[in-house]
Amino acid sequence: MKRGKKIIILSHCILNQNCVVKPYAKDQEEFFKFIKSFLLNNYGFIQLPCPELVILGLKRWGHVKDQLEYPNFKLECKKLLYSIVDQIDIYLKNGYEVKGVYGIKGSPSCGVNKTCRGDWEGEASCYKNLEDIINRVHLVSEKGIFMEILEELLKEKNIKLSFYDIDDWSEEID
């Protein structure tokens, strides 16, 4: 098979909705058109690890960026990303095009243009009701923790890549 020498980097859940916090998993078919368009244009994929799954587990509650902005979560994210950044560097040094990084809009870890923030802590019983908790969550125009750290590590190696939320992709990929 001929190498396309083109790569995209994907948030883990784009290829594996099994890792998504309940009840937010989507039917994998929603991503099929996106993935297929790159496959048909001979792109390879680097699948990022899911930091929330690795660090917090599969039975985790939903989180907001504010809850993940602590030193150990960031350190663990860096550990997960070192080998990924090295792979990207290897591809670039060998003449490959790395089209960009695709994240998930709204994710506290992997959001690119939007992430969720919320002013909450403690037990759910501390709040009037579920609506009170939900009303504290807001989408903001910033990257999630994992994407911020990926961008920082790439910068350290003088690698500049474009970042996109999957909602921002176009069928005109070339």
Q: In angstroms, how far is CA 15 from the centroid of its own chain?
A: 11
Query: What is the C-alpha separation between 102 and 99, in angstroms, rounded?
Result: 10
* Average pLDDT of the segment spanning 54-69: 92
pLDDT digits (tens, 9 = 90+) for 84-108: 999 999 999 999 999 999 999 999 9
Q: Which two tokens stand for residue 42?
A: 């001979």
Percent over 90 (pLDDT), the chain: 67
For residues 51 and 76, the answer to whether their CB atoms sit within 8 Å is yes
Report which DSSP code applies to 56: H
111 CB neighbour count, 10 Å cutoff:
27
Q: Given the DSSP bridges, would you call strands 6-10 and 43-47 parallel, antiparallel or unpaired?
A: parallel
| Candidate from 4-18, 29-43, 92-106, 111-125 with smallest mean pLDDT | 111-125
Whole-number pLDDT of residue 1: 57
Q: Where are the domains of the chain?
A: 6-168
Name residue, tokens 């309940």. Answer: 22
For residues 100 and 164, the answer to whether their CB atoms sit within 8 Å is yes
Of 27 and 141, which is predicted with more confidence?
Answer: 141
Is the pLDDT at 173 greater than 50? The verdict is no
* Average pLDDT of the segment spanning 143-155: 98
Query: What is the C-alpha separation between 145 and 107, in angstroms, rounded?
Result: 9
For residues 8 and 98, the answer to whether their CB atoms sit within 8 Å is yes
Whole-number pLDDT of residue 170: 44
pLDDT-derived band of residue 132, with 50, 70 and 90 as boundaries? confident
Whole-number pLDDT of residue 168: 59
> DSSP readout, 84-108?
HHHHHHHHHHTT-EEEEEEE-TB-T
Is the pLDDT at 171 greater than 60? The verdict is no
Q: If you average pLDDT over every residue of the chain, what do you get?
A: 90
pTM, full prediction:
0.89
Measured in degrees and rounded to the nearest 5, phi and psi for residue 38 equal: -75, -40
